[in-house]
Structure 1
Amino acid sequence: MADGEELDMYGGRLAAMAARYANLGETLGDTELVKKLLDTVPDRLFPVVAGIEQFHDVTMMAFDEALGRLRAFDERVRRRGQDGGERGGDQLLLTMAQWRARERRQGVAHDDDDGRSVASGNGGNQRGRCYKCGERGHFKRDCP
């Protein structure tokens, strides 16, 4: 199978090859077609080929069934690539500092490194005034 070739086109070429064999008086059964199909698919389909060979009897599998399984896997991989799935190349990766800054802008509460919950946003002690002594510049937990 060529690199840019569609799976359906390649399946059609294999079926045409089987028809040419029949015209020459020789039969090319499903077993041979399935083995040829599984041996010549591109590397992107290797995981499903391994699964088919491991969990199904390739000698009893119909050519259309093998082609359908490969087609379903190929469509799923292509859909995931278009949707930006888990392995999509356009994912946004942030450092921890960038993530925390983003949370602060959005007003999301998160756990601080020592386990205390720190609320960011428009609540609580906005000016940095201690609730114990009333002075500015520190919080109650840091009050002397």
Structure 2
Amino acid sequence: MADGEALDVYAGKISGMAARFASLGATLSDKEMVKKILDTVPEDLYQAVAGIEQFCDVETVCFDEVLGRLKAFQERSERRKAAVRGGDRGDGQLLLTAAQWEAQHRARGGGHNDDNAGNGADLPRRGRCHYCGIRGHFERDCRKKKREEQAQALLIDDQPGLC
């Protein structure tokens, strides 16, 4: 079996060889076909070959059964390799650290404007306050707005007799 050759293609070649034997008047038994495929598979399938030889009777096992076991092992190995290459997630997407995510976010044009350094810019990037213009909080959480509202309320309470 050549490197990179699909298992189905190689099994087709062995089956074709059995058909040529039949056309010549000889027969190629399942036992001989099983021996041929087990002896010629690539190294990455060697574990599957060892398992088949250990747990199956190679003298009586069917060629199609051996082929099915080898294909199942190969597919499982390819899925595992893909998972290792793609990180821990199955969709092939790597998980990023916070610094990597922020650098990627800035590179895509989603970075923030640090023109308010010292005015809450070191706070978590939650947005810009529409009341005071400082980044790091929203208008509903603005301390300046709350102080001014409290001062306004005190001024209204201090005015005599509006009743």
What's the TM-score once normalised by structure 2's chain length? 0.52
Alpha-carbon distance in 1 for matches of 2:40, 2:79: 23
- Residue 71 (structure 1) aligned with residue 71 (structure 2): yes
Instruction: Please identify which structure carries the higher helix content.
Output: 2
Is there any run of 5+ residues in structure 1 with no aligned partner, and where?
93-101, 103-144
Larger radius of gyration: 2
TM-superposed CA distance for 1:89, in Å, is 4.1
1:81 is matched by which residue type in structure 2? K
> 1:1-144 alignment to 2 at 5 Å?
1-82=1-82, 84=83, 88-89=84-85, 91=87
1:79 is matched by which residue type in structure 2? R
Is there any run of 5+ residues in structure 2 with no aligned partner, and where?
89-97, 99-163
Q: Could you say what secondary structure the match of 2:60 adopts?
A: coil
Structure 1 residues 38-79: Cα deviation after superposition (integer angstroms, max 9, x where no partner): 000000000010000011100100000000000000000011
Report sequence identity in percent: 57
Alpha-carbon distance in 1 for matches of 2:75, 2:53: 20
| Relative contact order higher in (CA < 8 Å, ≥ 6 apart) | 1
Q: Which 4+ residue blocks in structure 1 deviate beyond 2 angstroms?
A: 89-92
What's the RMSD between the two structures over aligned residues? 1.8
Alpha-carbon distance in 1 for matches of 2:50, 2:66: 12
When the two structures are aligned, how many residues end up with a matched partner?
90
Structure 1 residues 91-117: Cα deviation after superposition (integer angstroms, max 9, x where no partner): 58xxxxxxxxx9xxxxxxxxxxxxxxx
What's the TM-score once normalised by structure 1's chain length? 0.59
Structure 1 residues 101-144: Cα deviation after superposition (integer angstroms, max 9, x where no partner): x9xxxxxxxxxxxxxxxxxxxxxxxxxxxxxxxxxxxxxxxxxx
1:67 is matched by which residue type in structure 2? L
Alpha-carbon distance in 1 for matches of 2:57, 2:65: 12
Alpha-carbon distance in 2 for matches of 1:90, 1:20: 44
